[in-house]
Amino acid sequence: MPAEPSPDPYADPLVFGQRLQVLRTRRGLTREQLGGLAGRSGSWVKGVETGRLKTPKLQVILRLAEILRVRDLSELTGNQSLRVGLFAGPGHPRLPEVKAAVEAFPLDADRAAPPIAQLRARLARAWAARHRAPDHRDVIGALLPDLVRDGQAAVRQAETAVDRRAAHAVLAEVYGLCQFFVAYQPDAALLWRVAERGLVAAQESEDPHAIGVAAWLAAQAHRDCGPSHFDAADEVNLRTLAYLQPLLADASDDVLAIAGALTFEAGYTAARRGGTGTAWRYWDQARAMAVRLPQDYYHPVTSFSQAIMGAHAVTVAVELHQAGESVRQAAAADAVAIPSRPRRARHRIEAARGYQLDGQPDVALATLAQAHEAAPETIRYNGYAKRIVLEEAEAKSPARRRRAAELAMKLGLLAA
């Protein structure tokens, strides 16, 4: 007899425990692994899944949703009145046009390719605009369709091998900009298509910097898919670092910076695994690489720089659930200005996670308000920020509930 298909938590009327079990299994996690990541035991997970224990409180449900990377909270709860997007934000109005440009298969020569130097200049302006704009997705979403089409045309129409490699390097970075736009939007297939095309174009370019950027983005995509993808994140990350290592003695600032960014990413993944020593060791190595860069240097894609290392330290401490250390690092990092508005907002979100972890929810909400002021589109698409706001909207303190509700309305989590 054929085996019965596993139930679909998105379609079948399952209870919470059954949904938890199906989603956990699909993520490739054991009960012990899920329990450890949630601060519980494997037997606790089994008790919830089998119905021996009752459905946990909202704070725990949100933590489970974070670990399992559910697209919408209702996928875990089964309650269609709780349709709250967590790690997939709202679809941006410009997403269809960007998607159409990426998915097109142009073979004609009707579109004349611009010179590579012009494409590079446009791409540089696009990155600069992304870092300056509070509505950065709107800004780069308007620029991307033509950049994608022109980058593809430049590759097709290149007349020499040298020109073709140069065009591939630019196209790889265009796909990198695409990934920043597509990330956390409700189209995972498009995200992976962009990441993979970026890797292929970078390899064709034979350019160390382009290869490093594409690998950095691919590693992030794997890591953000959850624990079952951590090995894949490490594989692309560490292999690329091994490729770049012999080049670093005489490397340009950009190549040194992408190697530093990849080194920190290895530490970030280690922190997600709970590897304290490994995570801080990679952070120390990345800091040493940052010190080799000019003090005012700021990598246009990854933001790697001397200025960002304090923010990176906050992230490591938060992922390791080191409450006191995350708050201490957040206070130290606040003394350093981060030029990029979206990266500054991301740092504020990480700091807010640390304050909540340290039992300072009021400071966490105030820090999220600063993130919203820096770049509303960053916080609107961030699952960690949404989780904090939703938790505090259920707080016992009326004043805190009110502040959380006000922020939730700004993020589109509650109706005005």
Q: Which tens digit of pLDDT belongs to each residue from 211-227?
A: 999 999 999 999 988 88
Residue 171 within a domain: yes
* 194 and 136, same domain (yes or no): yes
* 182 and 101, same domain (yes or no): yes
Does 2 score more than 50 pLDDT? Answer: no
pLDDT at 33: 84
* 74 and 144, same domain (yes or no): no
DSSP 56: P
Question: Worst-scoring range by mean pLDDT, 42-56, 70-84, 198-212, 380-394?
Answer: 70-84
Could you give the angle at the alpha carbon of 368 between the alpha carbons of 20 and 322, nearest 5°?
A: 65
Of the candidates 61, 82, 103, which is a domain's last residue?
82
Residue 69 within a domain: yes
Residue 315 within a domain: no
Confidence of residue 177 (pLDDT cuts 50, 70, 90): very high
Which residues, in sequence order, are CB contacts of 281 under 8 Å at separation 6+?
A: 267
Q: Which residues sit opposite 85 in a β-bridge?
A: 72
pLDDT at 394: 81
Q: Which tens digit of pLDDT belongs to each residue from 102-151?
A: 999 877 667 789 999 999 999 999 999 999 988 999 999 999 999 999 99
Of the candidates 139, 172, 206, which is a domain's last residue?
206
Which residues, in sequence order, are CB contacts of 19 under 8 Å at separation 6+?
A: 9, 75, 76, 77, 78
Q: Is 138 exposed, middle or buried (0-12, 13-18, 19+ CB in 10 A)?
A: middle
Query: Domain holding 68: CATH number?
Result: 1.10.260.40
Q: Which tens digit of pLDDT belongs to each residue from 293-343?
A: 999 999 999 999 999 999 999 999 999 999 999 999 999 887 678 889 999
pLDDT at 86: 61
DSSP states of 234-251: HHHHHHHHHHHGGGGGG-
The whole-number average pLDDT for the span 171-190 is 93
Residue 309 within a domain: no
Q: Which tens digit of pLDDT belongs to each residue from 38-73?
A: 888 988 999 988 888 888 887 788 888 878 877 777
* 75 and 105, same domain (yes or no): no
Confidence of residue 97 (pLDDT cuts 50, 70, 90): very high
Could you give the angle at the alpha carbon of 3 between the alpha carbons of 15 and 31, nearest 5°?
A: 45
Confidence of residue 186 (pLDDT cuts 50, 70, 90): confident
* 132 and 54, same domain (yes or no): no
Contacts 24+ apart (CB under 8 A), 392-395: 392/361, 392/364, 392/365, 394/58, 394/59, 395/361
The whole-number average pLDDT for the span 282-286 is 98
Residue 52 is part of which domain span?
16-82
* 78 and 101, same domain (yes or no): no
Of the candidates 182, 206, 230, which is a domain's last residue?
206
* 99 and 197, same domain (yes or no): yes
Outline where 28-78 has alpha helix (H).
31-37, 42-50, 58-68, 74-77
DSSP states of 267-328: HHHHHHHT-HHHHHHHHHHHHHHHHTS-TT---TTT--STTTHHHHHHHHHHHTT-HHHHHH
DSSP 375: -
* 97 and 184, same domain (yes or no): yes
pLDDT at 336: 75
Q: Contact 201/159 with Cβ under 8 angstroms?
A: no
The mean pLDDT of the chain is: 89
Outline where 133-229 has alpha helix (H).
136-156, 161-182, 188-205, 208-223
CA 324 – CA 328 distance, rounded (Å): 6
pLDDT at 416: 46
Residue 390 within a domain: no
* 119 and 180, same domain (yes or no): yes
pLDDT at 73: 75
Structural domains of the chain, count: 2
Residue 399 within a domain: no
pLDDT at 79: 65
Q: How far apart, in Å, are the Cα atoms of 325 and each of 125, 329, 362?
A: 37, 6, 18
| Residues recorded for the chain | 416
pLDDT at 4: 47
DSSP states of 77-96: H--GGG--BSSS-PPPTTHH
* 48 and 95, same domain (yes or no): no
